[in-house]
């Protein structure tokens, strides 16, 4: 869990992308020694990279734990979840990935007497707190840093299932499609996409035109894409008219 001071540092770095230690210290009114100590801890979490005399914010690192991701960009993710919540189709079975935005939406919709499948351990624990909801974890290899299950076993299990609805996020998005920085996460999401009737992508503006390596899907493979990105970021993606992107 982030402390208040760590949250302040991250918010400042998020707005500046990179900053010197002296600038951070002056902005949050603490000593440079304190800033160095907090930067070391935030680097250990995978949220930033220290450099000589300062730090760089790592917004889309694959190895950030979901507990931290639930805090970072909270308001933006909440706005996206609220948009999507109003337009979801009826469903009885749901797959969600291990993203914090997908979990936020899943927590907002009614899951009583429904079955949820996920590769996210945190998602399974939080959504499975109600006895009226059936939650299944796919088997696989544990990725400790993201608290998710990945690998061939997870892909094989998902290949034997069908879902009415899939909710997921991504590492990056662009005209070429949706991408992940991990081949394992990409394979899991591809398997779920192939077996889902209605597919929803949730993506905040920081993910646009980033450069993750592994393509999961085309934009047109999703029935709906919800984002807080402005129209100028979406204009190129909407060309051709076969991509359903909804923004505020």
Instruction: Tell me what pLDDT residue 224 has.
Output: 97
> CATH 3.40.50.1360 in the chain, residues?
67-247
The pLDDT tens digits for 100-154 are: 899 999 999 989 999 999 999 989 999 988 889 999 999 999 987 778 999 999 9
Instruction: Tell me what pLDDT residue 127 has.
Output: 93
CA distance 27 to 25: 5
> CATH 1.10.10.10 in the chain, residues?
4-58
What is the average per-residue pLDDT within 40-67?
73
pLDDT > 70? residue 68:
no
Mean of all residue pLDDT scores within the chain? 89
Q: Which two tokens stand for residue 46?
A: 């995978």
CA 65 to chain CA centroid, nearest Å: 10
Q: Which two tokens stand for residue 61?
A: 């690192």
Instruction: Tell me what pLDDT residue 96 has.
Output: 97
pTM score, whole prediction? 0.76
Which of 42-51, 82-91, 196-205 shows the lowest mean pLDDT across its residues?
42-51
CA distance 152 to 72: 30
Instruction: Tell me what pLDDT residue 75 has.
Output: 80
Residues 65, 228, 116, 132: what is their CA dihedral angle, to the nearest 10 degrees?
A: 100
The alpha-carbon radius of gyration of the chain (Å, integer) is: 19
CA distance 80 to 68: 18
- Which of 2.60.40.10, 1.10.10.10, 3.10.20.340, 1.10.510.10 is the CATH number of 4-58? 1.10.10.10
Tell the residue number behind the tokens 């291990």, with chain if given.
98
The pLDDT tens digits for 158-194 are: 999 999 999 999 999 999 999 998 999 999 999 999 9
Convert the chain into a string of H (helix), E (strand) and C (coil): CCCHHHHHHHHHHHHHCEEEHHHHHHHHCCCHHHHHHHHHHHHHHCCEEEECCEEEECCCCCCCCHHHHCCCCHHHHHHHHHHHHCCCCCCCEEEECCCHHHHHHHHHCCCCCCEEEECEHHHHHHHCCCCCCEEEECCCEEECCCCEEECHHHHHHHHCCCEEEEEECCCEEECCEEEECCHHHHHHHHHHHHCEEEEEEEECHHHECCCCCEEEECHHHCCEEEECCCHHHHCCCCCCCCCCEEEC
CATH class of the structural domain 67-247: alpha beta
pLDDT band, residue 49 (cuts 50/70/90): confident
Instruction: Tell me what pLDDT residue 35 has.
Output: 92
CA distance 123 to 111: 13
Region of residue 37 (phi > 0: left; psi between -120 and 50: alpha; otherwise: beta): alpha
CA distance 95 to 106: 10
């Amino acid at each position: 869990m982030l402390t208040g001071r760590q949250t302040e540092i991250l918010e400042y770095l998020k707005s500046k992308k990179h900053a010197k230690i002296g600038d951070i210290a002056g902005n949050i009114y603490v000593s440079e020694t304190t800033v160095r100590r907090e930067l070391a801890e935030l680097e250990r979490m995978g949220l930033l990279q220290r450099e000589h005399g300062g730090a760089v914010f790592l917004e889309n690192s694959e190895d950030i734990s979901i507990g931290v991701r639930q805090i970072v960009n909270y308001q933006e993710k909440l706005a996206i979840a609220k948009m999507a919540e109003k337009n979801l189709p009826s469903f009885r079975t749901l797959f969600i990935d291990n993203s914090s935005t997908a979990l936020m939406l899943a927590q907002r919709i009614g899951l009583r007497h429904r079955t949820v499948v996920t590769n996210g351990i945190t998602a399974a624990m939080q959504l499975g707190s109600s006895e009226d909801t059936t939650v299944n974890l796919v088997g696989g290899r544990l990725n400790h840093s993201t608290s998710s299950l990945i690998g061939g076993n997870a892909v094989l299990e998902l290949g034997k299932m069908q879902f009415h609805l899939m909710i997921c996020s991504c590492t990056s998005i662009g005209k070429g499609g949706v991408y992940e920085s991990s081949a394992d996460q990409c394979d899991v999401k591809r398997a779920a996409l192939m077996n889902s009737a209605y597919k929803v992508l949730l993506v905040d503006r920081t993910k646009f035109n980033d450069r993750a390596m592994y393509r999961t899907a085309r934009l047109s493979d999703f029935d709906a894409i919800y984002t807080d990105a402005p129209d100028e970021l979406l204009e190129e993606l909407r060309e051709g008219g076969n991509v359903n992107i909804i923004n505020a």
